[in-house]
């Protein structure tokens, strides 16, 4: 009976220490989600709009850069703020696609179909990046924080907007060592 008690005690201690070690590992990092607000101007005379950017432009990245273990684009939202001329608010699109280009490779981060300027005029439209794409981008961003946002609009019929002033909000997950 004595040997059984000692054995049970030993097993308990090992189990609890094992869980303790796993849990201590869990507390070594924290993941915060941060919205990065990027202002974009889409001109009617070009279907593709290119906006260079850099993670160092954002305080949450800059302030924690020496402790970042990973960074991943999670969700993306887009909304128009101003449209010129005003009646172009009815402009419809077959699709609006958004990409991030890192080291000359393009990654699709959002796509909206059958949408008008009115649908997104000061109303956020949201899409989520698939896990595989997010993982691949994460590896690229850890090497190079510079990236380019690209938006490609495919309108129905003629384009009659001159420009759309908009905001793309990219929510990134940043894993930081504590």
Partner 1 sequence: MLRRISTLYSVLLICLLSVSLSNAGEPISFTKEFNLFTSQQAQGFFKPLFTTIEQSLNSNLHTIAIYEDKWSIGIDISTQGMIIPGSQKTYDAQLPELYGNTAECENAELRNGVLYRNVSGYSKQPTVYGGKSTPIFSAPQYDTHPSKHLKSNAYAEGMDISFMPGVPVLQLVFGFPTRTELRFRFLTFPVQGESLNYFGFILNQRFDHFFDIFGEDTTMGLAANITFHTGNRNPGIDMYSFAAGLHWSKYFEDILSVYAALQYENMGGEFQAERKDFVESDFIESPYQEVRNGSDIIFDLESFTSFRIYGGISKRFSFLELNMNLGYASQPFISGGLTFWIADWK
Provide the binding-site residues for partner 1, judged by CB under 8 A.
Answer: 1-2, 5, 8-9, 12-13, 16, 19-20, 23, 26-27, 30-35, 37, 59-60, 63-64, 74-75, 77, 79, 81, 122-128, 167, 169, 171, 173-174, 176, 178
CA dihedral 167, 173, 175, 178 (to 10 degrees): 70
Least distance (Å) from partner 1 to the CB of residue 81?
A: 8
Least distance (Å) from partner 1 to the CB of residue 104?
A: 29
- Residue 168's Cβ-count burial label (10 Å; 0-12, 13-18, 19+) is buried
Least distance (Å) from partner 1 to the CB of residue 177?
A: 10
Task: Indicate the residue among 48 and 131 with the shorter CB distance to partner 1.
Answer: 131
Q: How many CB atoms lie within 10 A of CB 32?
A: 11
Block residue for tokens 């593709």: 48
Task: Indicate the residue among 13 and 105 with the shorter CB distance to partner 1.
Answer: 13
β-bridge partners, 100: 107, 149
Are residues 168 and 149 in contact, defined by beta-carbon separation less than 8 angstroms? yes
Task: Indicate the residue among 5 and 45 with the shorter CB distance to partner 1.
Answer: 5
């Amino acid at each position: 009976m004595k040997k059984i008690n000692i054995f049970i005690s030993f097993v308990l201690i090992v189990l609890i220490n094992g869980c303790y070690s796993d849990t201590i590992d869990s507390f070594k990092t924290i993941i915060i989600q941060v919205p990065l607000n990027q202002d974009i101007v889409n001109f009617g005379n070009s279907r593709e709009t290119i906006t260079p950017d850099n993670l160092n432009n954002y305080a949450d990245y800059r302030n924690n850069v020496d402790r970042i273990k990973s960074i991943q684009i999670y969700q993306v939202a887009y909304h128009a703020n101003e449209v010129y001329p005003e009646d172009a608010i009815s402009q419809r699109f077959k699709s609006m696609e958004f990409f991030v280009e890192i080291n000359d490779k393009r990654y699709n981060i959002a796509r909206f179909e059958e949408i008008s300027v009115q649908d997104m005029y000061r109303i956020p439209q949201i899409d989520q990046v698939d896990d595989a794409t997010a993982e691949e981008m994460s590896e690229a961003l850890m090497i190079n924080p510079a990236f380019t946002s690209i938006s490609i609009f495919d309108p129905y019929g003629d384009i009659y907007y001159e420009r759309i002033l908009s905001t793309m909000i990219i929510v990134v997950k940043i894993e930081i060592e504590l």
